[in-house]
Amino acid sequence: MLGPIFLREWLSSPRRTRHYVQRVSFVVAVFSLICTVWLLLAGLQQVRNLGDLAQFGMMAFQIVAPFQLVVLMFLAAIAAANQICHEKDRRTFDLLLLTELSNSQIVFGKYIAGLLNVLQLFIAGIPLLLLLTLLGGVAPHQVLAVSLVTGSTLLWSAAVGTTVAFWREKTFQTLAVIALSLVLWCIIWEPVSAGLIPGVPREYATYASPLRAVWEACQPPVTVADNTLQIPFYYSAGASIFAILLCLLSVFRLRVWNPSRQVQPRLTDDEAERLASEELGTKGSWKVRTARPMWNNPVLWREMCTWAYGKKVLVIRIAYFVLALMISAQLYQSVQAGELFGRSTLSEELLPPAAKTLAPLFLVSLVLLNALAVNSITNERDGQALDLLLVTEISSWEFLFGKILGVFYVAKEMLLTPLALCLYLCFVGALSFETFVFISAAWLVMTLFVSMLGVHCGMIYSQSRAAISVSLGTVFFLFLGIITCMLIMISFRGSFGRQLAPFLLIILGGGTGLYLALGHRNPSPAITIASYALPFLTFFSMTSFVLRNQELTVASVIVVAYGFATAAMLVPALSEFDFAMGRAKTIDEEV
């Protein structure tokens, strides 16, 4: 049933260096989180007895388990989708359909091949969770429950990535639908968990949402008998059935979806002229319409005046508006209930309810902007049009700013909707005008940063799969690291000087990762400084945010840090445009 596709990945994957680097990096990242929690705990109190060790084990487990779930869930979906998108971008997937491979061999081969590396990361992280049981506070059945929830989540998230990749033709459409689907599925169960939907029990959210299921498994048992695996078992069974159904759907619809109508052969000029002559009875022209006038910047004209990313991008806009409407309804309900005008608990004081509600929308918007930017470059390269652009009279300024402004135009909904919701909060008095100005400035700088990051990765990586993975991975891990650090800060509140030393390992690791992703192929002093300064300044801004009443400091640091990082990527791209393109291709060919 698996066929030669899976067999090739099974035999060739261990021969690649990144096969071992990924596993070691993931385990080191998880272990660094555990070490950070320990350093913070030891810095605030003296660890004297087994009760303190049990408290440390429970807190570390509640931080590591959700972190592992979110990372592996998105990695599984993107890795499975990349297996198909890479074939479609290289125009080799149609050749795969002409072979003697059956639909099930193609679908399940691609599905398990994309899931293979992520499963290895998941298995490599289980021993770290088992080590926490030796400290106390965590029972072995809790590790088993978290493993069941995480493993089954990998199955259905990879199935979502595989199905969407087979269904959609454009890579941006695939990535956008996957990101929106995963976020919508996690968010849609939050009102159910809060009891806001009448007639729907709260327990349904635990059985359907992976975040709620893993958080329930992380809670310490109330009694000795409270050690059942009912919730993880039911969730895992439902997730596995859902994954099987998605794969079967891909098997039955594979040759209906592929080849797409966008790549089906069309009439040649001579054939079109002959048909037009037969219809008109005279020798007519094969052109069906007159040529449209083009702007001075043809790159920007193509991005704004044509369907460069396919007409199905409208589906992505509709899905995004659904997500925005759900968040808007939740904000409106919170405003009517007065929840955004006061502070009650320590958790709400450190992380306001409005921030928790708007954070998913901001994150999805930045991910979609980044995906659109990197695909604007990789689509040109995969279509064999990038080399032609390099020999034209188009300057680097026209190309880069045409791509960036085109991304802003196509994704204008993702750019303006978060600002509109913040303006609504400012209008009702839940947000001061000064804070709204700071948020707007920081948001515009962040959108420019993620867009330039996508263009930069698309230019220095000639392989589309590597460019997309590095670009989306940088954005995803950057903000996932911010969320994880915020959760730790909520548990251990303190000054910047007290928290700097425990977080130093994460800051240095993040800086090294940024440099390897952005600077090792196109090194420059500015990119090196930006790579190592960005995690430190981000941590400083988070600490200032936790200490409250420092909105100007937070906004200024974010604008300066990410503005400098954007300039560090933009200036070399403008000055070494042709050289950067050719060097990236040469490096990949040598590898």
Is 280 part of any domain?
no
Q: Check whether 365 has a pLDDT greater than 50.
A: yes
Is 270 part of any domain?
no
Domain boundary among 241, 261, 281: 261
pLDDT of residue 283: 46
Dump pLDDT digits (tens) for 239-261.
999 999 999 999 999 988 888 65
Q: Check whether 579 has a pLDDT greater than 60.
A: no
My answer on whether 333 and 246 are in the same domain is no
Task: Output the pTM of the full model.
Answer: 0.80
My answer on whether 420 and 534 are in the same domain is yes
pLDDT band at 590 (very low <50, low <70, confident <90, very high): very low
My answer on whether 24 and 161 are in the same domain is yes
Structure tokens at 197: 């939907």
My answer on whether 355 and 236 are in the same domain is no
pLDDT of residue 147: 92
CA gap 83, 99 in Å, rounded: 18
Lowest mean pLDDT among 90-104, 346-360, 478-492: 346-360
Is 153 part of any domain?
yes
CB atoms inside a 10 Å sphere around CB 579: 11
My answer on whether 310 and 170 are in the same domain is no
Dihedral in degrees, nearest 10, Cα atoms 406, 458, 121, 77? 40
Q: Check whether 216 has a pLDDT greater than 70.
A: yes
> Longest Cα pair distance anywhere in the chain, in angstroms?
97
CA gap 157, 15 in Å, rounded: 26
Of 510, 506, 476, give the one whose Cα is nearest residue 488.
Answer: 506
Domain boundary among 242, 261, 280: 261
My answer on whether 78 and 164 are in the same domain is yes
Q: Which residues contact 18 (CB under 8 A, 6 or more apart)?
A: none
Q: Which residues contact 523 (CB under 8 A, 6 or more apart)?
A: none
The residue-averaged pLDDT of 439-447 equals 92
Lowest mean pLDDT among 176-190, 253-267, 570-584: 570-584
My answer on whether 220 and 305 are in the same domain is no
pLDDT of residue 224: 44
The Cα-based distances of 259 to 79, 93, 169, 225, 381 in angstroms read 22, 8, 9, 56, 21
Of 34, 23, 42, give the one whose Cα is nearest residue 62.
Answer: 34
Tokens 């021969």, residue located: 15
The residue-averaged pLDDT of 428-455 equals 89
Q: Which residue has the higher pLDDT, 442 or 10?
A: 442
pLDDT band at 160 (very low <50, low <70, confident <90, very high): very high
pLDDT band at 474 (very low <50, low <70, confident <90, very high): confident
Dump pLDDT digits (tens) for 302-324.
888 887 777 777 888 888 888 88
When the pLDDT of each residue in the chain is averaged and rounded to a whole number, the result is 80
pLDDT of residue 150: 93
Is 274 part of any domain?
no
pLDDT band at 485 (very low <50, low <70, confident <90, very high): confident
Is 375 part of any domain?
yes
The residue-averaged pLDDT of 420-442 equals 88
Domain boundary among 261, 286, 321: 261
CA gap 465, 469 in Å, rounded: 6
pLDDT band at 350 (very low <50, low <70, confident <90, very high): low
Q: Which residue has the higher pLDDT, 521 or 426?
A: 426
Is 179 part of any domain?
yes
Q: Which residue has the higher pLDDT, 322 or 591?
A: 322
Is 288 part of any domain?
no
Dump pLDDT digits (tens) for 380-392.
877 777 777 777 7
Dump pLDDT digits (tens) for 453-464.
988 888 888 777
Q: Which residue has the higher pLDDT, 90 or 320?
A: 320
My answer on whether 236 and 303 are in the same domain is no
Is 266 part of any domain?
no
Write the burial class of residue 587 (CB in 10 Å: 0-12 exposed, 13-18 middle, 19+ buried): middle
My answer on whether 304 and 221 are in the same domain is no
My answer on whether 484 and 554 are in the same domain is yes
Instruction: Report the number of distinct structural domains present in the chain.
Output: 2
My answer on whether 183 and 242 are in the same domain is yes
pLDDT of residue 591: 43
My answer on whether 550 and 485 are in the same domain is yes
Range of the domain at 36: 3-261
End-to-end CA distance of the chain: 32
